Amino acid sequence: MLKFEEGRFDAVVVGAGHAGCEAALACARTGLNTAVLTLNLDSIAFMACNPSVGGTAKGHLVREIDALGGEMGINADKTALQMRMLNVGKGAAVQSLRCQSDKHAYHTEMKRTLEHTDNLRILQAEAAEILTENGKVCGVKTTYGGILRCRAAILCTGVYLNAETITGEVKQSSGPNGFAPATALTKNLTELGYRVRRFKTGTPARLDGRTVRFEECEVQYGDDDILPFSYMTEHPVKNALPCYLTYTNGKTHEIILSNLDRSPLYNGTILSTGPRYCPSIETKVVRFSDKERHQLFLEPEGRDTLEVYVQGMSSSLPHDVQRDMYHSVAGLEDCDIMRYAYAIEYDCIDTLDVYPTLESKKVEGLYTAGQINGTSGYEEAAAQGLMAGLNASLKIRGKEPLILRRDEAYIGVMIDDLVTKGTDEPYRMMTSRAEHRLEIRQDNADFRLTQKGYDCGLVKRERYERYLARKRNYEDDLKALSGRVAQADADGFLRSLGLDGTEKPLTYADFIRRGVTLKQIEEQFGKVCGEDESAAQSAEIYIKYEGYLKKGLDQIARARKLEERKLPPDIDYMQISGLRLEAREKLDKVRPASIGQASRVPGVNPADIAVLLLLLK
- The predicted pLDDT at position 277 comes to 79
Q: Is the pLDDT of residue 74 over 90?
A: yes
Q: Is the pLDDT of residue 399 over 90?
A: yes
Per residue in 332-377, pLDDT tens? Answer: 999 999 999 999 999 999 999 999 999 999 999 999 999 999 999 9
Residue 395: which H helix or E strand, with range?
helix 378-396
Topology, domain 206-341: Elongation Factor Tu (Ef-tu); domain 3 (2.40.30)
> Please, what sign has the CA dihedral across residues 96, 231, 119, 9?
negative
Taking alpha carbons only, the member of 380, 432, 436 closest to residue 411 is: 380
Every domain range in the chain assigned CATH 1.10.10.1800: 474-551
% of the chain with per-residue pLDDT over 90: 92
- The predicted pLDDT at position 284 comes to 94
Task: Give pTM, 2 decimals.
Answer: 0.95
Q: How far apart are CA 615 and CA 572, in angstroms?
A: 12
Q: Is the pLDDT of residue 143 over 80?
A: yes
Q: Classify domain 474-551 by CATH number.
A: 1.10.10.1800
Per residue in 572-581, pLDDT tens? Answer: 999 998 999 9
Homologous superfamily of domain range 565-616: GidA associated domain, C-terminal subdomain (1.10.150.570)
- The predicted pLDDT at position 68 comes to 98
- Position 1 confidence tier, pLDDT thresholds 50, 70, 90: low
Every domain range in the chain assigned CATH 3.50.50.60: 4-202+346-434
Homologous superfamily of domain range 4-202+346-434: FAD/NAD(P)-binding domain (3.50.50.60)
Q: How far apart are CA 176 and CA 166, in angstroms?
A: 11
Which burial class, exposed, middle or buried, applies to 238 when counting CB atoms under 10 A from its CB (0-12, 13-18, 19+)? exposed
Q: How many residues would you count in the chain?
A: 617
Taking alpha carbons only, the member of 126, 122, 274, 123 closest to residue 197 is: 274
- Position 503 confidence tier, pLDDT thresholds 50, 70, 90: very high
Q: Is the pLDDT of residue 2 over 80?
A: no
Per residue in 23-56, pLDDT tens? Answer: 999 999 999 999 999 999 999 999 999 999 999 9
> Please, what sign has the CA dihedral across residues 538, 543, 548, 552?
positive
Every domain range in the chain assigned CATH 1.10.150.570: 565-616
Every domain range in the chain assigned CATH 2.40.30.260: 206-341
